[in-house]
Structure 1
Amino acid sequence: MEGFLHEPRALFHGKALCVVQPGSVQDVAAVLALCHETATPVVPQGGNTGLVGGQNPSPDGGAIVLSLTRLRALREIDPASNTMTVEAGMVLTDVQAEASRANRLFPLSLGSEGSCTIGGNLATNAGGTNVIAYGNARDLLLGLEVVLADGRILSDLSKLKKNNTGYDLKNLFIGSEGTLGVITAAVLKLFPKPQSVETAFVGLASPRAALDLLGLARDMAGGEITSFELIPRLGLDFVLGHFDTRDVLAKKFPWYVLLELSSQSREGLDARLLALLEAGSARHIIEDAAIAASLEQRQNFWKLREFLPEAQTLEGGSIKHDVSVPIADIPIFLEEVFRAVSYAVPGARLVPFGHVGDGNIHCNISQPVGADRQAFLARWDEINAIVYEIVLAHKGSISAEHGIGQLKRDLLPKVKDKVAMDVMRAIKQTFDPKGILNPGKVL
């Protein structure tokens, strides 16, 4: 059972009575009915890639782990309605591949897509690199099949975009981290497959310049912007130092943006990207830029972004923050975090990166060079408090896309509206009166 009991960063390690791997929604219903009858806690789990401990059991060992990985069937693809119906255990890359075989795009994309499952993506309302164009997982869903705590199956696998028949129940389960029900299948939105993609790696002087570039890109490219990722030079150096990658631009710059445009037209996108970069240069927003001339170059650009989290781990202790602030506040937010953290931990290395287009910055802090890793990580709560205070001052969120799980459960009541917390507890009591579904998570 070991692989089911801890998460990728090894921050949480639990025990379990057993791991149950049902092969159908009827199996899931039977398991939950029995657990409800016996008041046995159930911890739903997908690909076990979550970073806040929401998918792992507690150390007391009194729960079962309910793994959904055998529920991986493609039930239907409907190109006319641009939908696909899949089971919760299907790995995200397989969802993307099945959509592609039907000449469609399922745009959810994140670093763990080779092992995370669509059920887990929905249960945590996953984000990723394409949110600027397509939204979070919630925005990619039309219908849902969920097994409730007592074993009843709530079946709402609707393909309809317009359906005003009372409460929209499916949205209660998106982002609930398995605390209200167990997602077993979903109807997902599909999109036309892009006929052309253009990717640029842009050198910038500051996050303020990145924000100016985003505004210019929106004016000139609009809905064709599919990714806009901020990368600091320090993070780039981490990646270049630990992986077989290569620098893109001839000179070094303090900040970079990985910009990608996609279009349904086969022609003209390259010219629009070039015009955008030329305009950015003329307005002294851009220091330098390179456009990927081949698939290999594009893949190298993306490696520089995708390897960032692992490169940080290889650099020693890293205290991580998945936060969001209003897009306009990103530059001043980063300045304030840098000053406050540098004062508290002289020599700490700030490595903020992520999705500028939706305000989600992974504001990670690496240990000073030569510092003791464990001594640095022992200050996790202290550094969290510093960063979260600044986040809240900017009316941001302490969890942009990773969820609450165990990691932020005790912090949630301190930052969320009291009435909202009361409503959440009431919903939990209604759906799970015995408290067997993923206890100790979120609430």
Structure 2
Amino acid sequence: MSTVQIENRDRWLSGLPPKAGPQRPWHQRMWRSPKFWLALVLIPFYAYCLWDQYQLLHPDTTFPDGTVALGLNHDSLRFGAFWAMWTAIAYFLLFLWLDRFRPQRPLIWLLAFGWGACASTWMSIYVNTWAGQMMATTDANADMGTRAAIFIAPFVEEATKATVLFLLVVLFRRRLVSRLSLVSLAGLSAIGFAFVENIIYYARSVVYATNTVGIEDPFGEVMELVMLRGVYTSFGHPLFGIMTAFGLAVGLSARSKIVRVTAPLAGFVVAAGGHMLFNGVVSTNPTEALRTQWYMALGLVAVITLFLVLGVVAQAQLVRRRLGDYRRVGWLTDRDLVVFSGPFKRMKLHLAGIFRGPKKWLATARFMRLITELAYLREGRTRGLVAEAGDSRAHEIIHELEELRPRALTDTAGLKILPERKRRSRTDLPPPQAPGPSGIGGNWPAPR
């Protein structure tokens, strides 16, 4: 093996990109990208999952006792999609904001969201239906419909939502170096699941309310469900998905092999247990009795939110501390430590770059990504998670940062988001277009 092959193998074992070589054409880089093949496989699979769910829920269902359950028509699905969309957008933007220090590619965000919305709901609907049939009894039992929701659905749904996390960790281990990244991807998968689930619930409510004679205000009945699922209890799926992500993040950053195995399992068990408790409270108590449990849930959400905010602060301190190692040897400046470890300063650089054109913004975003990778690379090196191949990768990043620095925005001192327009002086003004006498500045010579 050549020296380059040995070094690339060491990098691969440490989860680092191979040594930079000659720039290949875009089509060759596309064929060699794991993200392209992942999208090529998953996107048709997502389309099939949605189509199969539609074929399952659209027609009417006739039960053995002769009763008929109306299917979901197009109008009810459009209504459900419209009202479920706003909750999904709000949480989508929230989790994108959390993934700020080492953000994933937009394709990874969309694939994680699509997994929860398509694959996870497709697998869950079949498994939950089968489990409900297995747990059904022939006696009249008011609790028969809640058994699968309490004892089966939490484990199935949390497992299917978290599957995409393990898939991405296997394929893109070097990109998932921050706990916030795992939390963001888990949250995107969870809100994708909640988005499609809300569409189904809202559509069923519309069909039932519009075909039941005793309901005086069908729209009001549906909107009560929209407020309950889309606002009051909308934190449920993201909250449980975050618990699984915490366990996986602890396992990835641990040196002990036992912790690497038990931490993700513990996170999943806590998520499934919380989901089971949540479903049990909602299924076995009337709406009026949920107020106390709702306040308790909001307290838990407040604690998780505080933990996430502290996580952002901790990541900022980590970036500043590790970039300080390179500052002491003269490779970075003091302002680099201050600017690129501040969440709001990084946001200001992004906004200022957008208003200064795509080239300036791309250079700024690239500079920000590289300097953040440098910080996490140093963290992995000091913790023993990255071998000596990380040193050569650090030198590559330093050289690329120096090449990008003249073309990127690297400091927020005196920087305004909107660029100022240059005022032209009187000497810069073009001469008047109308003829004038000689000596006054006319474009045409004065008549003789």
TM-score by length of 2: 0.25
TM-score by length of 1: 0.25
Structure with the larger RCO, 1 or 2 (CA within 8 Å, 6+ apart): 1
Which structure shows the bigger proportion of residues in helix conformation?
Answer: 2
Which structure shows the bigger proportion of residues in strand conformation?
Answer: 1
